[in-house]
Amino acid sequence: MNNTLNTLQLKARQEVYTLLSGNNLSALHGEGYDFSELREYQIGDDIRKMNWVVTAKLGKPYIKETHSNRELSVVVTALMDGSFYFGKGNNKQIKLTEIATILGYACAQQGNLFTGFCYTQDACSYTPPTKHLYDISQFSKTLFDLPLLDSTLDKHASIKNLFKSIHKPSLIFVLGDFLEEIDLSILAQKHEVIAIIIRDREEERPKKLGEVTLTSPKDSTQIKTYFGKRTIGKYLLKLQAHDKRLTKHFSRYGIGHVKIDTEDNVVRKLLSLFI
């Protein structure tokens, strides 16, 4: 295993079992022992909850849920393309992997079901519902190893596919840099959604570069330009307007959100979601 990934995973596990212990991922987690519902069996459910009488009558497996036994379904979704390869390297990709790993380990530590989705230009990597740390670690490795240069993700199609793929009401974390317009309202109709915005600090506080050739990490196109004070000013105005629209969209549909840059402490930022 890559030493950087190994260190990242060990750090994530340590922080989950020390700093995040006792912080539930969602207030949706029910309490008490009263009967909640009957529903069809889904992959990953505990067969000990099977209602055999209803199953026999209807010819389909059914689960009897009580509030105390109801598991929280947590879905971590990564939207990734060439924009995650910024500046000197793929620090944004590494930070996304760290965030996803911490969320996954926290989910397992609390006894909830973890599901992982990773959308890229050519494929969707899927980790079925699980409570096993090994499966979560493999999802983490997938995120870390993905080649992203010269790729562009169709985010609209990805969100549409995600909505069709999740049948059980869930807590969905959507991880991306959110530098393009995106509509998460379809997910918010059925699920609790939290957007985690991952940015490199220099994307929001760029430095003067003078005459420079910029290369797009999405398609390798190049432009020669003078990147000075005036150019930076125009860029920041556009970024601020974009982020304002993004925040308005999140607020309108009750979507929680937090911004994490590549130099931030992930756990401290995630803990702000519980306040």
Q: Which domains does the chain have, with CATH numbers?
A: 3-24+72-274 (3.40.50.410), 35-66 (no CATH)
pLDDT score of 21 = 61
Model pTM?
Answer: 0.83
β-sheet bridge partners, residue 172? 75, 193
Q: What is the pLDDT of residues 220-264, one digit of tens each?
A: 999 998 989 999 999 999 999 999 999 999 999 999 999 999 999
Pair 194, 256: CB distance under 8 Å: yes
Asked if residue 31 has pLDDT above 70, the reply is no
pLDDT score of 68 = 46
pLDDT band at 153 (very low <50, low <70, confident <90, very high): very high
Q: Output the 3-class SS for the chain.
A: CCHHHHHHHHHHHHHHHHCCCCCCCCCCCCCCCCEEEEEECCCCCCHHHECHHHHHHHCCCEEEEECCCCCCEEEEEEECCHHHCECCECHHHHHHHHHHHHHHHHHHHCCCEEEEEEECCCCEEEEEEECCHHHHHHHHHHHHHCCCCCCCCCHHHHHHHHHHHCCCCCEEEEEECCCCCCCCHHHHCCCEEEEEEEECHHHHCCCCCEEEEEECCCCCCEEEEEECHHHHHHHHHHHHHHHHHHHHHHHHCCCEEEEEECCCCHHHHHHHHHC
Task: Tell which wins on pLDDT, 13 or 47.
Answer: 13
Burial class (CB in 10 A: 0-12, 13-18, 19+), 230: exposed
Question: Residue 17 carries which side chain, given as an amino acid letter?
Answer: Y
pLDDT band at 40 (very low <50, low <70, confident <90, very high): confident
Among the listed ranges 28-37, 82-91, 99-108, which one has the minimum average pLDDT value? 28-37
Q: What is the pLDDT of residues 75-100, one digit of tens each?
A: 999 999 999 998 778 999 999 999 99
